[in-house]
A and B are shown apart, each in its own frame.
Chain A
Amino acid sequence: MNDPYITLGVTSRATLDEIKAAYRELAKKYHPDNYADNPDMQAFATEKMKEINEAYDEILRIRRSGGTEYTDYASIRQMIRNGRLFDADNALNNVGSASRGAEWHFLKGTVYLNNGWVNDAEREFEFAVRLEPSNGEYTAALNSIKNTRGGQFGGYNTSAPNYGSGSGCSGCDVCTGLMCADCCCECMGGDLIRCC
Chain B
Amino acid sequence: MMLIKDYETYKSVYCSLCGALHKQYGIFAKNILSYDITFFCIMAAGLNGAKPCVKKGRCMFNPFKKCFYCTKQDKYLEMGAAFSVISFYYKLTDNIKDDGVFSKLGCYMLLPFAKRYRKKALKKYPHFDIILGDILALQAECEDKEFVSLDRCAHPSAVMLKRLMMTLAENEQNKCEYGEFGYYLGRWVYLIDAIDDIKKDLKKNRFNPFIKMFDITRDNISDDVKQQCNEIVNMTSARLVSAYKKLEIKTYKEICDNIINIGIGQMQKNVIFMNNREEIFDE
* Contact B241–A119 (Cβ < 8 Å): no
Interface residue total, chain A, C-beta cutoff 8 A: 18
Residue contact A153 to B242, C-beta cutoff 8 Å: yes
Q: Which residues of B contact A158 (CB under 8 A)?
A: 227, 230, 273
Q: Give the distance in Å from the alpha carbon of A118 to the alpha carbon of B149 in the complex.
A: 11
Within 137-196 of A, Cβ neighbours of B (below 8 Å) are at 145, 148-151, 153-158
The interface-forming segment of B31-39, B65-73, B75-83, B264-272 is B264-272
Cβ proximity bits A116-127 to B, threshold 8 Å, 1 near / 0 not? 111110100000
Interface check B158, CB cutoff 8 A: yes
Question: Does A119 contact B151, Cβ atoms closer than 8 Å?
Answer: yes
Query: Does A70 lie at the interface of the complex (its beta carbon under 8 Å from any beta carbon of B)?
Result: no
If A116-B158, A118-B239, A158-B227 touch, whether A151 touches B265 (CB-CB below 8 Å) is yes
Tell whether B139 is near chain A: CB-to-CB under 8 Å.
Answer: no
State the total of A-B contacts with C-beta under 8 angstroms: 84
Is A112 part of the contact surface with B, judged by Cβ < 8 Å? yes
A116-B158, A116-B183, A116-B184 as given contacts; A155 in contact with B149, CB under 8 Å: no
B101 within 8 A of partner (CB): no
Q: What's the Cα separation between A156 and B262 when bound, in Å? A: 9
Chain A residues closer than 8 Å to B233, beta-carbon distance: 155-156
Query: Taking the complex as formed, is B4 at the interface, i.e. its CB lies under 8 A from any CB of chain A?
Result: no
B260 to chain A, nearest CB (A): 8
Instruction: Please tell me the number of chain B residues within 8 Å of chain A, measured between CB atoms.
Output: 33
The binding surface of chain B is classed by DSSP as helix
Q: Is the CB of A156 within 8 A of B269?
A: yes
In the assembled complex, B234 has its CB within 8 A of some CB on chain A:
yes
Task: A49 to B124: give the CA distance in the assembly, Å.
Answer: 37
Q: In the complex, A119→B233 CA distance in Å?
A: 10
B269: chain A residues at CB < 8 Å are: 156
Q: List 25 A-B contacts (CB under 8 A).
A: A116-B184, A117-B149, A117-B155, A118-B151, A119-B149, A148-B234, A148-B235, A148-B237, A151-B230, A151-B234, A151-B265, A153-B237, A153-B238, A153-B241, A154-B237, A154-B238, A154-B242, A154-B261, A155-B234, A155-B235, A155-B264, A155-B268, A156-B234, A156-B266, A157-B265
Q: Which residues of B contact A (CB under 8 A)?
A: 149-152, 155, 158, 180, 183-184, 187, 227, 230-242, 260-261, 264-266, 268-269, 272-273
Given A154-B261, A158-B227, 14 additional A-B pairs, CB 8 A: A116-B180, A116-B187, A118-B236, A120-B149, A149-B232, A151-B238, A151-B268, A153-B241, A154-B237, A154-B239, A154-B241, A155-B230, A155-B264, A156-B268
